[in-house]
């Protein structure tokens, strides 16, 4: 769900490799590096569309999904 949400907003997958564990962005999906993931995602998104900016709420919800700490829509609501 998180990857789809990012793709809908940016028009592109947040990852460059099919294997997330070897993907340069996928390697940032840890609690210690999630901020760096968003930094890189915003840089890329701005290259595509200069008006894109992720809200803190979007980053928090999608970040929790990417880290596997949020698994269903009921928890989001």
Angle between helix axes 56-66 and 2-10 (nearest 10 degrees) is 140
Read off the pLDDT of each residue in 38-53 and give the average, rounded to a whole number.
Answer: 78
Does the global pTM surpass 0.85?
no
Q: What is the pLDDT of residue 74?
A: 64
Residue 48, sorted as left (phi over 0), alpha (psi -120 to 50) or beta, turns out to be alpha
Q: Which domain holds residue 55?
A: 2-76
C-alpha to C-alpha distance for 13 and 61, rounded to whole angstroms: 17
| Strand ranges (E), 2-74 | none
Average pLDDT, rounded, for the chain: 79
Q: What is the pLDDT of residue 29?
A: 79
Read off the pLDDT of each residue in 49-61 and give the average, rounded to a whole number.
Answer: 82
Nearest Cα neighbor of 44 from 15, 22, 17, 20 is 15
As for how many domains the chain has, the answer is 1
């Amino acid at each position: 769900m998180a990857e789809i949400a990012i793709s809908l907003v940016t028009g592109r997958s947040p990852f460059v490799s099919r294997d997330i564990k070897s993907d340069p962005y996928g390697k940032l999906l840890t609690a210690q590096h999630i901020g760096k993931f968003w930094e890189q995602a915003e840089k890329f998104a701005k290259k595509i569309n200069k008006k894109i900016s992720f809200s803190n709420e979007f980053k928090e919800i999608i970040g929790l999904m990417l880290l596997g700490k949020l698994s269903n829509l009921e928890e989001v609501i």
